[in-house]
Structure 1
Amino acid sequence: MTASPPPADDLSPPPSCPDAAAPAPAQALQRLKVAPAEQPLSAAQKKFNRLLARVNSLERQLEQLQQSADALRAPHLQRMDALRQRMAQAQRAMAQLLHARLQRPGLTAAQQRAVRALLRDLVHAVPPSPQPEPEWAALRAAYPRPVPAAPSPEALQQLLDVLSAASGETLELSDLEDAGSPEALIEALAERLHAQDEARRAAAAERRARRKTTARQAEAQAQAQDARSALRGIYRQLASSLHPDREPDPAERERKHALMSQANTAHERGDLLALLRLQLAAEQVDEAAMARLGDARLQSLCLLLQRQVGTLDRELAEAEARLAHELGVQVRAADPRRLLEADLQALQDELQNLAEGMEHDVHALQDDDKALKAWLREQARLAREHERAAREMTGFGFQF
């Protein structure tokens, strides 16, 4: 009896078992794309090719970003840690110098106030040492941070007016008194608004559940079901071919176990491209097989790829944010590695310049009242410039 040909919308796996590693991503991409034949590509085929390329590009960006981070992280963090220690030592030396100078006459009352203000900032800016330091602890205690003044009733009412306008809830001073502080009131209000938002979402979901399914919703649900079936079908084909318990050869069983582990991970993540690459390795699909797929099957695969694009976009954004926080510079996966290296070097140079400047100041101010007074005037000028810049930025909507 002659075996019937495979259906046109299947990937038609041959019975052979895999004997090669998964192809390289770029090679796999070319082999999986639907190639033009006698007829022009359909809209579904073009979309499938575009999404394949997009998934491949995002995967490559994520991999390259991780490789760059792995190569640059350790030397950068080590250098920054050394520079921070150097900066802390310079700050300690400056604090001790200023404290010693306050014990001698010769400074005006305004200059003494300026020195004390600088000392309050310095002694609390230096990270605490893991070892006990009685002298430094005494210095910190001698220059405590000023306790913030309680806000005036007018300022509190202004805060309540802003929060009322933003939240749509009428707030009174009693609400603030019950909360204990402006910060606690803001936190409590945020929790209340979050609970209200969750309740609205739940009510909206319940209303949607009671509504009659529209033709478009039914079509979308059917497409989603087709996509899940397509992914499950590809995975089952791989599982049948790669199951290590059916392989008598120990070396081949170990190799299949590794590939099966990859298939399990890809199936859990909904990673269609990874499953298709494994199919290439298992010789379950070839270039011609993709062109044989019908548009309906391709639409299902496109839905899976669209979801994968969304997942990769989120993973890329999360990786960028995580590395930016870790390294201290803006991180963008689309930028070449040399730009990230340049930004890290600039950050190191900035901290080194600050440490060198502080060391220079400590050396220059030793037993030189004239230099100290000039330095105090320069610090006051810089503080005024910073305050003016902060006010200007606040005027543009930036908050500090």
Structure 2
Amino acid sequence: MSKQQLVRISIPEKAGHPLSKPQKEFNRLTEKISELEKEIEAFRQTTSHIQARMVAEYLPLLRKYNLLRAELVRVFDRAHDRPDTTTSEKKKLADLILAIAFELIDQHGLDDLKAIYDKYDSDGFDTTTAGDHSLPDTPDEAAQMLPDSRSDAFADSRLPMESGGAFMPATQEKAVEKSRIKTGNRKDKPTTARQQAREAKKQLEARAITKTVRMLYMDLVKTFHPDREADEAEKVRKTGIMQRVTEAYETGDLLALLRLQLEFERIGQADLKNLADEPLMHYNKILRQQVGELEQELAGLHQYLAAISGRAAMPANQATGLEYQLNTDLNTLRKSSKILKNDLKILADSAQMKAFLKTYRMA
């Protein structure tokens, strides 16, 4: 994202001419939007970086570690079938096999272990897990289904590959239309004069907001529409500008339209300063909606970053903390894989396996 221009009404130099309440609110809202945009961009960069590292580094290591655990299941299975294995040892081995194999099949997709699992569970894996994989109903439930790497550095970290906010703002016109449809479908329509007046006021405000955004849009369209431009270079320039204008209009982004107006000198500080309070109040209503939408988008990014990292949400400027923890998890995973490789060699020996089983306590 390119650096955005801060749109604000400057304080008059002459004393005795303070900004009006709507002017002050306009400045507060535009500044808040600029801050939110910066924070959202920082979160996007952080999320993209952490996700890229997890896909490129963490998941391959996790896969190798889980393949070693699958081999451990097979070692336990072979030990179970040895003629010198006692009944007590068989129970312990079955307990280990069912616990490890279930996780590897259920969470990591190692379906080739189903035959071994079913050998120790008369119901079979598919019957045992039937109906357990319903889709989450809410984002919170989805996040809870993801692994928590605070407690297990080797938990599955499958990532949704599409990033971006789940709460992208709709166009002002669509929002007004949805409001109209919703109002029209209500069974309890306003009956009292006060309710009718309130409803009429809401509709007038909605139309005024739509008109405000459309006026800014149409002014830019008249100036920069490329169709009648003869010069090819200028036509290309205007086409690029119109893409930005159309995107701002379709997302109902008043501030983006104002930035474009200022950038291309369609309006200046004097125009903003001389705006009457009534149009400013329409601007402020739209800007308040934008603040709410951006706050929702930021909350969605907080939740997404927390989900892919397995940690509580934190400010994007604390990404170094996530980097540090990811490096710690990677090192832990490497060490655990090395230890498990050695354990596999040891447990292949019958005497060593029996010694291990003596120390194992079933839950």
Q: Same fold (TM over 0.5)?
A: yes
Task: Give the 5 Å matches for 1:1-400.
Answer: 24-25=3-4, 28-29=5-6, 32-37=7-12, 38=14, 39-124=17-102, 125-126=104-105, 127=108, 138-144=115-121, 146=123, 205-212=186-193, 213=195, 215-332=197-314, 334-367=316-349, 369=351, 372-374=354-356, 377-378=359-360, 380=362, 384=363
Deviation, structure 1 residue 91: 1.0
Higher relative contact order (CA 8 A, sep 6+): 1
Deviation, structure 1 residue 146: 4.9
TM-score between both structures, scaled by the size of structure 2? 0.72
Note the residue ranges of structure 1 that are not aligned, 5 or more in a row. 1-21, 149-180, 188-200, 385-400
Number of the residue aligned with 2:158: none
Give the structure with the higher percent helix. Answer: 1
Deviation, structure 1 residue 59: 1.5
Deviation, structure 1 residue 92: 2.3
Q: Distance in 2 between matches of 1:249 and 1:183?
A: 60
- Distance verdict in 2 for CA 1:73–1:147, change over 3 Å: closer
Number of the residue aligned with 1:3: none
SS in structure 2 of the partner of residue 78 of structure 1: helix
Q: Distance in 2 between matches of 1:74 and 1:372?
A: 43
Equivalent residue letter for 1:249: D
Equivalent residue letter for 1:59: E
Deviation, structure 1 residue 240: 0.9
SS in structure 2 of the partner of residue 246 of structure 1: coil
Equivalent residue letter for 2:72: M
Aligned partners of 1:224 and 1:300 also within 8 Å = no
Q: Deviations over 1:312-347 (max 9, x none)?
A: 222223334344444544454544332332343344
- Distance verdict in 2 for CA 1:103–1:114, change over 3 Å: same
Alpha carbon RMSD of aligned pairs, Å?
3.5
- Distance verdict in 2 for CA 1:327–1:34, change over 3 Å: same
- Percent identity at matched positions? 26
Q: Distance in 2 between matches of 1:203 and 1:249?
A: 49
- Distance verdict in 2 for CA 1:291–1:236, change over 3 Å: same
Q: Distance in 2 between matches of 1:233 and 1:376?
A: 81
Equivalent residue letter for 1:45: Q
Equivalent residue letter for 1:36: I
Deviation, structure 1 residue 145: 6.8
Equivalent residue letter for 2:319: R
Aligned partners of 1:331 and 1:340 also within 8 Å = no
Number of the residue aligned with 1:393: none
Q: Distance in 1 between matches of 2:73 and 2:2?
A: 62
- Structure of higher CA gyration radius: 1
Aligned partners of 2:40 and 2:298 also within 8 Å = yes
Deviation, structure 1 residue 236: 0.9
